[in-house]
Amino acid sequence: MTEPLKIAIAGLGTVGAGVLKLLAKNGELVAQRAGRRLTVTAVSARDKKRDRGVDISALKWFDDAAAMAQEADADVIVELVGGSDGIAKKVCETAIARGRHVITANKALLAIHGTALARAAEAKDVSLGYEAAVAGGIPVIKAVREGLAGNRIQRIYGILNGTCNYILTQMRKTGRAFEDVLADAQKLGYAEADPSFDVDGIDAAHKLAVLAALAFGTEVNFKGVHIEGIRHVSPMDLDYAKELGYRVKLLGVARMTEHGLEQRVHPCMVPLETPIADVEDVFNAVVAEGDFVGNAVFEGRGAGAGPTASAVLSDLVDLARGRRAPTFGVPVDSLARPPVSPMEKRRGSYYIRLMVVDRPGVIADVTAVLRDESVSLEAMLQRGRSPNETVPVVLTTHDTEEAAMNRALKKIGASSHVRETPRAIRIEAL
Protein backbone atom coordinates (compact mmCIF):
# COMPACT_ATOMS: atom_id res chain seq x y z
CA MET A 1 0.00 0.00 0.00
CA THR A 2 1.30 3.49 -0.86
CA GLU A 3 1.97 6.32 1.59
CA PRO A 4 -1.07 7.40 3.61
CA LEU A 5 -3.09 10.45 2.68
CA LYS A 6 -2.37 12.95 5.45
CA ILE A 7 -5.30 15.08 6.58
CA ALA A 8 -5.63 18.18 8.74
CA ILE A 9 -9.10 19.17 9.98
CA ALA A 10 -10.15 22.75 10.72
CA GLY A 11 -13.20 22.72 12.97
CA LEU A 12 -14.09 19.97 15.45
CA GLY A 13 -17.80 20.55 15.87
CA THR A 14 -20.44 17.95 15.05
CA VAL A 15 -19.06 17.18 11.59
CA GLY A 16 -15.36 17.37 12.41
CA ALA A 17 -15.77 15.00 15.33
CA GLY A 18 -17.92 12.82 13.08
CA VAL A 19 -15.09 12.49 10.56
CA LEU A 20 -12.69 11.39 13.30
CA LYS A 21 -15.21 8.86 14.64
CA LEU A 22 -15.87 7.46 11.17
CA LEU A 23 -12.16 6.94 10.54
CA ALA A 24 -11.72 5.39 13.98
CA LYS A 25 -14.52 2.91 13.34
CA ASN A 26 -14.19 2.21 9.60
CA GLY A 27 -10.57 3.13 8.93
CA GLU A 28 -9.57 -0.32 7.69
CA LEU A 29 -12.54 -0.54 5.34
CA VAL A 30 -11.87 2.96 4.03
CA ALA A 31 -8.19 2.10 3.46
CA GLN A 32 -9.16 -0.93 1.38
CA ARG A 33 -11.51 1.16 -0.74
CA ALA A 34 -9.08 4.07 -1.07
CA GLY A 35 -6.02 1.94 -1.79
CA ARG A 36 -4.12 3.66 1.02
CA ARG A 37 -4.64 4.72 4.60
CA LEU A 38 -6.28 8.01 5.50
CA THR A 39 -4.45 9.49 8.46
CA VAL A 40 -5.41 12.61 10.39
CA THR A 41 -2.24 14.40 11.46
CA ALA A 42 -3.48 17.75 12.78
CA VAL A 43 -6.61 19.50 14.01
CA SER A 44 -7.69 23.00 14.93
CA ALA A 45 -10.66 24.28 16.92
CA ARG A 46 -11.52 26.94 19.48
CA ASP A 47 -11.44 24.76 22.62
CA LYS A 48 -8.80 22.07 23.01
CA LYS A 49 -10.25 20.76 26.28
CA ARG A 50 -13.79 20.15 25.07
CA ASP A 51 -14.93 16.52 25.17
CA ARG A 52 -15.82 15.51 21.62
CA GLY A 53 -16.21 11.78 22.26
CA VAL A 54 -13.03 10.95 20.34
CA ASP A 55 -9.35 10.90 21.31
CA ILE A 56 -7.31 13.71 19.73
CA SER A 57 -4.31 13.51 22.06
CA ALA A 58 -2.02 12.05 19.38
CA LEU A 59 -2.83 14.76 16.85
CA LYS A 60 -0.94 18.01 16.46
CA TRP A 61 -3.07 20.86 17.77
CA PHE A 62 -3.25 24.31 16.20
CA ASP A 63 -5.02 27.21 17.86
CA ASP A 64 -4.97 29.05 14.52
CA ALA A 65 -6.66 27.14 11.69
CA ALA A 66 -5.02 29.31 9.02
CA ALA A 67 -1.61 28.56 10.50
CA MET A 68 -2.49 24.87 10.35
CA ALA A 69 -3.40 25.23 6.67
CA GLN A 70 0.06 26.72 6.10
CA GLU A 71 2.23 24.59 8.38
CA ALA A 72 0.64 21.19 9.08
CA ASP A 73 2.11 17.98 7.76
CA ALA A 74 -0.87 17.34 5.50
CA ASP A 75 -1.80 16.68 1.88
CA VAL A 76 -5.35 17.95 2.30
CA ILE A 77 -7.07 20.47 4.56
CA VAL A 78 -10.67 19.73 5.54
CA GLU A 79 -12.50 22.99 6.32
CA LEU A 80 -15.46 22.47 8.66
CA VAL A 81 -15.49 25.87 10.37
CA GLY A 82 -18.44 27.38 8.47
CA GLY A 83 -19.32 30.91 7.41
CA SER A 84 -18.89 32.64 4.08
CA ASP A 85 -15.90 34.74 5.09
CA GLY A 86 -13.47 35.11 7.99
CA ILE A 87 -11.36 32.19 9.09
CA ALA A 88 -13.08 29.65 6.82
CA LYS A 89 -12.20 31.61 3.71
CA LYS A 90 -8.67 32.26 4.97
CA VAL A 91 -8.11 28.56 5.68
CA CYS A 92 -9.15 27.56 2.16
CA GLU A 93 -7.16 30.32 0.45
CA THR A 94 -4.07 29.58 2.54
CA ALA A 95 -4.24 25.85 1.87
CA ILE A 96 -4.67 26.34 -1.88
CA ALA A 97 -1.84 28.87 -2.05
CA ARG A 98 0.33 26.33 -0.22
CA GLY A 99 -0.52 23.70 -2.87
CA ARG A 100 -2.75 21.59 -0.64
CA HIS A 101 -6.07 20.03 -1.63
CA VAL A 102 -9.16 21.40 0.13
CA ILE A 103 -12.36 19.65 1.13
CA THR A 104 -15.17 21.72 2.61
CA ALA A 105 -18.72 21.29 3.86
CA ASN A 106 -19.23 25.05 3.65
CA LYS A 107 -22.08 25.88 1.28
CA ALA A 108 -22.12 29.57 2.24
CA LEU A 109 -18.44 29.94 1.36
CA LEU A 110 -18.92 28.22 -1.99
CA ALA A 111 -22.07 30.20 -2.81
CA ILE A 112 -20.24 33.50 -2.32
CA HIS A 113 -16.65 32.65 -3.28
CA GLY A 114 -16.94 29.33 -5.14
CA THR A 115 -15.80 30.58 -8.54
CA ALA A 116 -12.76 32.41 -7.13
CA LEU A 117 -11.74 29.41 -5.02
CA ALA A 118 -12.16 27.07 -7.99
CA ARG A 119 -9.98 29.35 -10.11
CA ALA A 120 -7.29 29.45 -7.42
CA ALA A 121 -7.37 25.67 -6.99
CA GLU A 122 -7.10 25.11 -10.73
CA ALA A 123 -4.12 27.47 -10.94
CA LYS A 124 -2.35 25.48 -8.22
CA ASP A 125 -3.41 22.10 -9.66
CA VAL A 126 -5.18 21.04 -6.47
CA SER A 127 -8.70 19.77 -5.86
CA LEU A 128 -11.57 21.60 -4.19
CA GLY A 129 -14.05 18.98 -2.94
CA TYR A 130 -17.47 19.84 -1.55
CA GLU A 131 -19.70 16.74 -1.58
CA ALA A 132 -20.63 17.50 2.04
CA ALA A 133 -21.75 21.07 1.26
CA VAL A 134 -25.00 20.11 -0.49
CA ALA A 135 -27.65 17.67 0.79
CA GLY A 136 -25.53 16.10 3.56
CA GLY A 137 -24.94 12.41 2.99
CA ILE A 138 -26.62 12.28 -0.43
CA PRO A 139 -23.85 11.88 -3.06
CA VAL A 140 -25.49 14.36 -5.40
CA ILE A 141 -22.35 16.32 -6.38
CA LYS A 142 -20.61 13.22 -7.68
CA ALA A 143 -23.82 12.04 -9.32
CA VAL A 144 -24.35 15.27 -11.27
CA ARG A 145 -20.67 15.88 -12.14
CA GLU A 146 -19.80 12.29 -13.07
CA GLY A 147 -22.81 9.98 -13.16
CA LEU A 148 -24.82 12.36 -15.35
CA ALA A 149 -21.88 13.73 -17.35
CA GLY A 150 -23.40 12.48 -20.60
CA ASN A 151 -26.56 14.51 -20.11
CA ARG A 152 -27.60 18.11 -20.59
CA ILE A 153 -29.32 18.96 -17.33
CA GLN A 154 -32.66 20.56 -18.12
CA ARG A 155 -33.73 21.28 -14.57
CA ILE A 156 -32.46 20.51 -11.09
CA TYR A 157 -34.57 20.94 -8.00
CA GLY A 158 -35.00 19.62 -4.52
CA ILE A 159 -35.70 19.82 -0.83
CA LEU A 160 -32.41 21.27 0.35
CA ASN A 161 -33.14 22.20 3.97
CA GLY A 162 -34.16 19.58 6.52
CA THR A 163 -35.29 22.11 9.11
CA CYS A 164 -37.94 23.59 6.81
CA ASN A 165 -39.02 20.16 5.65
CA TYR A 166 -39.42 19.02 9.26
CA ILE A 167 -41.47 22.10 10.16
CA LEU A 168 -43.79 21.77 7.16
CA THR A 169 -44.21 18.03 7.79
CA GLN A 170 -45.14 18.52 11.43
CA MET A 171 -47.46 21.44 10.67
CA ARG A 172 -49.32 19.26 8.20
CA LYS A 173 -49.51 16.25 10.50
CA THR A 174 -50.49 18.11 13.69
CA GLY A 175 -52.28 21.21 12.47
CA ARG A 176 -50.07 23.38 14.66
CA ALA A 177 -48.84 26.82 13.67
CA PHE A 178 -45.37 27.61 12.33
CA GLU A 179 -44.15 29.24 15.57
CA ASP A 180 -45.13 26.23 17.73
CA VAL A 181 -43.46 23.68 15.48
CA LEU A 182 -40.36 25.86 15.14
CA ALA A 183 -40.02 25.93 18.94
CA ASP A 184 -40.11 22.11 18.99
CA ALA A 185 -37.54 21.94 16.19
CA GLN A 186 -35.23 24.15 18.25
CA LYS A 187 -35.62 21.91 21.30
CA LEU A 188 -34.79 18.86 19.18
CA GLY A 189 -31.72 20.53 17.71
CA TYR A 190 -33.13 20.67 14.18
CA ALA A 191 -33.25 24.48 14.22
CA GLU A 192 -30.80 27.04 15.57
CA ALA A 193 -31.65 29.59 18.25
CA ASP A 194 -31.73 32.11 15.41
CA PRO A 195 -33.46 30.06 12.69
CA SER A 196 -33.42 32.77 10.00
CA PHE A 197 -30.85 31.08 7.75
CA ASP A 198 -33.05 28.00 7.54
CA VAL A 199 -36.65 29.21 7.63
CA ASP A 200 -36.05 32.26 5.44
CA GLY A 201 -34.58 30.09 2.67
CA ILE A 202 -30.98 31.34 2.74
CA ASP A 203 -29.38 27.97 3.51
CA ALA A 204 -31.30 26.32 0.67
CA ALA A 205 -30.32 29.19 -1.65
CA HIS A 206 -26.62 28.69 -0.89
CA LYS A 207 -26.94 25.04 -1.85
CA LEU A 208 -28.99 25.77 -4.95
CA ALA A 209 -26.42 28.28 -6.23
CA VAL A 210 -23.72 25.60 -5.97
CA LEU A 211 -25.88 22.91 -7.59
CA ALA A 212 -26.87 25.22 -10.44
CA ALA A 213 -23.25 26.10 -11.22
CA LEU A 214 -22.41 22.41 -11.41
CA ALA A 215 -25.50 21.39 -13.36
CA PHE A 216 -25.29 24.14 -15.99
CA GLY A 217 -21.55 24.84 -16.14
CA THR A 218 -21.85 28.42 -14.92
CA GLU A 219 -20.09 30.63 -12.45
CA VAL A 220 -21.70 30.53 -9.02
CA ASN A 221 -24.23 33.35 -8.73
CA PHE A 222 -25.85 33.47 -5.30
CA LYS A 223 -27.04 37.03 -5.89
CA GLY A 224 -29.13 35.71 -8.77
CA VAL A 225 -31.22 33.43 -6.53
CA HIS A 226 -34.79 34.52 -5.73
CA ILE A 227 -35.34 33.64 -2.06
CA GLU A 228 -38.51 33.21 0.00
CA GLY A 229 -38.97 31.32 3.26
CA ILE A 230 -41.81 29.46 4.95
CA ARG A 231 -42.89 31.85 7.71
CA HIS A 232 -46.11 32.80 5.89
CA VAL A 233 -47.30 29.21 5.30
CA SER A 234 -50.24 28.37 7.57
CA PRO A 235 -51.88 25.06 8.59
CA MET A 236 -54.89 26.23 6.57
CA ASP A 237 -52.75 26.33 3.42
CA LEU A 238 -51.47 22.82 4.11
CA ASP A 239 -55.03 21.52 4.55
CA TYR A 240 -56.18 23.12 1.31
CA ALA A 241 -53.11 21.75 -0.46
CA LYS A 242 -54.11 18.21 0.54
CA GLU A 243 -57.67 18.77 -0.66
CA LEU A 244 -56.36 20.00 -4.00
CA GLY A 245 -53.98 17.05 -4.42
CA TYR A 246 -50.75 18.77 -3.39
CA ARG A 247 -48.22 18.93 -0.58
CA VAL A 248 -46.27 22.06 0.34
CA LYS A 249 -42.46 21.86 0.21
CA LEU A 250 -39.72 24.47 0.29
CA LEU A 251 -37.94 23.79 -3.00
CA GLY A 252 -34.84 25.10 -4.67
CA VAL A 253 -35.34 25.09 -8.45
CA ALA A 254 -32.82 25.93 -11.18
CA ARG A 255 -33.19 25.75 -14.95
CA MET A 256 -31.93 27.52 -18.03
CA THR A 257 -34.65 29.56 -19.76
CA GLU A 258 -34.82 31.80 -22.81
CA HIS A 259 -34.22 34.71 -20.43
CA GLY A 260 -31.18 33.22 -18.67
CA LEU A 261 -30.50 31.11 -15.60
CA GLU A 262 -33.51 30.82 -13.32
CA GLN A 263 -32.67 30.10 -9.67
CA ARG A 264 -35.40 30.29 -7.05
CA VAL A 265 -36.12 29.09 -3.51
CA HIS A 266 -39.67 29.31 -2.21
CA PRO A 267 -42.60 27.22 -0.94
CA CYS A 268 -44.17 25.15 -3.69
CA MET A 269 -47.25 23.01 -4.04
CA VAL A 270 -46.07 19.71 -5.50
CA PRO A 271 -48.41 16.97 -6.77
CA LEU A 272 -48.98 14.17 -4.25
CA GLU A 273 -48.05 11.51 -6.80
CA THR A 274 -44.50 12.82 -7.27
CA PRO A 275 -41.64 11.15 -5.33
CA ILE A 276 -40.55 14.41 -3.72
CA ALA A 277 -43.96 14.85 -2.06
CA ASP A 278 -43.24 11.83 0.13
CA VAL A 279 -39.88 13.13 1.41
CA GLU A 280 -40.69 13.97 5.03
CA ASP A 281 -39.22 15.45 8.22
CA VAL A 282 -35.46 16.18 8.13
CA PHE A 283 -34.76 14.29 4.91
CA ASN A 284 -33.52 16.01 1.75
CA ALA A 285 -34.07 15.08 -1.88
CA VAL A 286 -32.65 16.27 -5.20
CA VAL A 287 -34.07 15.58 -8.66
CA ALA A 288 -31.92 16.09 -11.74
CA GLU A 289 -33.64 16.03 -15.13
CA GLY A 290 -31.28 14.94 -17.90
CA ASP A 291 -32.04 14.86 -21.62
CA PHE A 292 -31.06 11.18 -21.89
CA VAL A 293 -31.51 9.77 -18.38
CA GLY A 294 -34.82 11.44 -17.57
CA ASN A 295 -35.45 12.07 -13.86
CA ALA A 296 -32.79 10.90 -11.41
CA VAL A 297 -33.99 11.12 -7.80
CA PHE A 298 -31.63 11.21 -4.82
CA GLU A 299 -32.95 11.09 -1.25
CA GLY A 300 -31.34 10.84 2.18
CA ARG A 301 -30.36 12.64 5.34
CA GLY A 302 -29.32 16.19 4.59
CA ALA A 303 -27.42 17.01 7.78
CA GLY A 304 -25.95 15.56 10.96
CA ALA A 305 -22.60 14.18 12.00
CA GLY A 306 -22.84 10.80 10.30
CA PRO A 307 -24.24 11.75 6.88
CA THR A 308 -22.01 14.81 6.49
CA ALA A 309 -18.89 12.94 7.65
CA SER A 310 -19.75 10.25 5.11
CA ALA A 311 -19.78 12.89 2.36
CA VAL A 312 -16.42 14.30 3.50
CA LEU A 313 -14.94 10.80 3.32
CA SER A 314 -16.15 10.33 -0.24
CA ASP A 315 -14.04 13.31 -1.30
CA LEU A 316 -11.07 12.03 0.70
CA VAL A 317 -11.28 8.61 -0.95
CA ASP A 318 -11.29 10.27 -4.38
CA LEU A 319 -8.10 12.13 -3.45
CA ALA A 320 -6.49 8.97 -2.10
CA ARG A 321 -7.30 7.18 -5.35
CA GLY A 322 -6.00 10.07 -7.45
CA ARG A 323 -9.40 10.81 -8.95
CA ARG A 324 -9.63 14.46 -9.96
CA ALA A 325 -12.31 16.55 -11.64
CA PRO A 326 -12.81 20.28 -12.27
CA THR A 327 -14.63 21.87 -9.33
CA PHE A 328 -17.79 22.67 -11.29
CA GLY A 329 -17.42 20.00 -13.95
CA VAL A 330 -15.53 22.05 -16.55
CA PRO A 331 -12.41 24.26 -16.40
CA VAL A 332 -13.04 27.60 -14.74
CA ASP A 333 -12.41 29.59 -17.93
CA SER A 334 -15.19 27.56 -19.58
CA LEU A 335 -17.80 28.48 -16.96
CA ALA A 336 -20.58 30.52 -18.52
CA ARG A 337 -22.01 33.80 -17.19
CA PRO A 338 -25.65 33.66 -18.24
CA PRO A 339 -27.98 36.53 -17.40
CA VAL A 340 -30.36 36.13 -14.46
CA SER A 341 -33.81 35.08 -15.57
CA PRO A 342 -36.15 37.60 -13.87
CA MET A 343 -38.64 36.11 -11.45
CA GLU A 344 -41.34 38.19 -13.12
CA LYS A 345 -40.89 36.06 -16.26
CA ARG A 346 -41.59 32.77 -14.48
CA ARG A 347 -44.65 31.04 -15.92
CA GLY A 348 -46.74 28.61 -13.93
CA SER A 349 -49.92 28.11 -11.98
CA TYR A 350 -50.74 29.46 -8.54
CA TYR A 351 -52.65 28.71 -5.36
CA ILE A 352 -54.20 31.86 -3.88
CA ARG A 353 -55.89 32.13 -0.46
CA LEU A 354 -57.94 35.20 0.34
CA MET A 355 -59.63 36.11 3.61
CA VAL A 356 -62.67 38.11 2.46
CA VAL A 357 -65.88 39.53 3.84
CA ASP A 358 -68.69 37.18 2.87
CA ARG A 359 -71.08 39.42 1.00
CA PRO A 360 -72.49 39.54 -2.53
CA GLY A 361 -70.23 40.80 -5.29
CA VAL A 362 -66.87 40.14 -3.60
CA ILE A 363 -65.97 37.12 -5.74
CA ALA A 364 -67.10 38.94 -8.85
CA ASP A 365 -64.71 41.77 -8.02
CA VAL A 366 -61.84 39.32 -7.49
CA THR A 367 -62.44 37.47 -10.74
CA ALA A 368 -62.72 40.78 -12.61
CA VAL A 369 -59.21 41.74 -11.46
CA LEU A 370 -57.88 38.36 -12.56
CA ARG A 371 -59.64 38.74 -15.91
CA ASP A 372 -58.10 42.17 -16.45
CA GLU A 373 -54.62 40.70 -15.88
CA SER A 374 -55.36 37.73 -18.18
CA VAL A 375 -55.14 35.27 -15.29
CA SER A 376 -57.35 32.25 -15.94
CA LEU A 377 -58.98 30.44 -13.01
CA GLU A 378 -58.83 26.66 -12.75
CA ALA A 379 -60.80 26.06 -9.53
CA MET A 380 -62.31 27.81 -6.53
CA LEU A 381 -63.07 26.59 -2.99
CA GLN A 382 -65.31 28.41 -0.53
CA ARG A 383 -66.46 26.95 2.76
CA GLY A 384 -69.95 27.63 4.17
CA ARG A 385 -71.61 30.99 4.54
CA SER A 386 -71.13 33.54 7.33
CA PRO A 387 -72.73 36.77 6.08
CA ASN A 388 -70.52 39.80 6.73
CA GLU A 389 -67.93 37.59 8.47
CA THR A 390 -64.40 36.91 7.19
CA VAL A 391 -64.13 33.60 5.33
CA PRO A 392 -61.36 31.92 3.30
CA VAL A 393 -61.64 31.69 -0.46
CA VAL A 394 -59.10 29.56 -2.31
CA LEU A 395 -58.38 29.88 -6.01
CA THR A 396 -56.07 27.98 -8.32
CA THR A 397 -55.03 29.34 -11.68
CA HIS A 398 -53.88 28.07 -15.03
CA ASP A 399 -50.36 28.97 -16.13
CA THR A 400 -49.68 32.68 -16.15
CA GLU A 401 -46.71 35.03 -15.93
CA GLU A 402 -45.53 35.99 -12.45
CA ALA A 403 -45.65 39.70 -13.24
CA ALA A 404 -49.36 39.47 -14.08
CA MET A 405 -50.03 37.45 -10.93
CA ASN A 406 -48.25 40.03 -8.79
CA ARG A 407 -50.23 42.89 -10.29
CA ALA A 408 -53.48 41.05 -9.69
CA LEU A 409 -52.63 40.24 -6.08
CA LYS A 410 -51.70 43.85 -5.40
CA LYS A 411 -55.06 45.06 -6.72
CA ILE A 412 -57.00 42.36 -4.87
CA GLY A 413 -55.15 43.10 -1.62
CA ALA A 414 -56.13 46.78 -1.87
CA SER A 415 -59.84 45.92 -1.77
CA SER A 416 -61.72 46.85 1.42
CA HIS A 417 -63.35 43.41 1.28
CA VAL A 418 -60.01 41.58 1.65
CA ARG A 419 -59.04 41.50 5.32
CA GLU A 420 -55.56 39.93 5.12
CA THR A 421 -52.67 40.07 2.68
CA PRO A 422 -53.44 37.57 -0.09
CA ARG A 423 -51.36 34.42 0.25
CA ALA A 424 -49.98 32.89 -2.93
CA ILE A 425 -48.00 29.67 -3.29
CA ARG A 426 -46.62 28.64 -6.66
CA ILE A 427 -47.73 25.28 -8.01
CA GLU A 428 -44.72 23.45 -9.44
CA ALA A 429 -45.22 21.16 -12.41
CA LEU A 430 -42.91 18.20 -11.74
Q: pLDDT at position 384, please?
A: 61
Say if residue 168 is in the same domain as residue 297. yes
Neighbours of 359 (CB within 10 A): 11
Q: What is the average pLDDT across 135-147?
A: 95
Instruction: Given the residues 89, 107, 142, 207, select the one marked as catalytic.
Output: 207
Domain assignment present for 319: no
Percent of the chain with pLDDT over 70: 99
Shared-domain flag, residues 274 and 363: no
Q: Report the CATH number that the domain containing residue 98 is assigned in CATH.
A: 3.40.50.720
Per the structure, the count of domains in the chain is 3
191 and 62 fall within a common domain = no
- How many other C-beta atoms can be found within 10 angstroms of the C-beta atom of residue 166? 22
Mean pLDDT, residues 350-358 taken together = 93
Residue 216 domain-assigned? yes
Distance of CA 24 to the CA centre of its chain: 30
- Predicted pLDDT at 358: 83
Total-model pTM: 0.95
Tell me the average pLDDT of the chain.
95
What is the spatial distance between Cα 303 and Cα 23, in angstroms, rounded to a whole number? Answer: 18
pLDDT at 390: 86
Give the CATH number of the domain where residue 220 resides.
3.30.360.10
Domain-located, residue 323: no
101 shares its domain with 202:
no
- Per-residue model confidence as pLDDT tens digits over 164-193: 999 999 999 999 999 999 999 999 888 889
Instruction: Give the mean pLDDT of 127-145.
Output: 95
Residues 241 and 287 occupy one common structural domain: yes
Task: Tell me the C-alpha distance between 311 and 309, whole Å.
Answer: 5
Do 369 and 230 belong together in one domain?
Answer: no
Whether 204 and 160 have beta carbons less than 8 Å apart is answered as yes
CA 264 – CA 273 distance, rounded (Å): 23
Structural domain contains residue 84: yes
Give the Cα separation of 34 and 23 in Å (integer): 12
Strand order in the sheet with 5-10: 60-62, 38-44, 5-10, 76-79, 101-104, 128-129
**E-only strand ranges, 389-429:** 390-397, 400-401, 423-427
Give the pLDDT confidence score for residue 76 in this predicted structure: 98
- What is the structure's pLDDT at 385? 67
Q: Are residues 289 and 380 in the same domain?
A: no
Is residue 266 a part of any domain in this protein?
yes
DSSP per-residue codes, 21-83: HHHHHHHHHHHHHHTS-EEEEEEE-S-TTS--SS--TTSEEES-HHHHHHHSS-SEEEE---S
- Mark whether 121 and 209 lie in a shared domain: no
Q: Is the same domain home to 112 and 219?
A: no
- 57 class by beta-carbon count within 10 Å (0-12 exposed, 13-18 middle, 19+ buried): exposed
Clarify whether residues 129 and 181 are in a common domain.
no
Chosen domain end from 78, 104, 133: 133
Same domain, 114 and 256: no
CA 286 – CA 299 distance, rounded (Å) = 7
Q: Kindly state whether residue 322 falls inside one of the protein's structural domains.
A: no
- Confidence band (pLDDT; 50, 70, 90) for 11? very high
Q: What CATH number is associated with residue 384?
A: 3.30.70.260
Q: Which stretches does DSSP call E strand in 113-259? A: 128-129, 153-159, 225-227, 246-257
Is 207 annotated as catalytic? yes
pLDDT in tens, 242-296: 999 999 999 999 999 999 999 999 999 999 999 999 999 999 999 999 999 999 9
pLDDT digits (tens, 9 = 90+) for 55-114: 999 999 999 999 999 999 999 999 999 999 899 999 999 999 999 999 999 999 999 999
Domain-embedded: residue 176: yes
Instruction: Give the residue with greater pLDDT, 22 vs 383.
Output: 22
- Which of 343, 376, 400 is the C-terminal boundary of a domain? 343
Q: Which domain holds residue 405?
A: 346-427
21 and 32 co-located in one domain:
yes
Domain limit, last residue, from 133, 156, 177: 133
Residue 1 has pLDDT above 60, yes or no: no
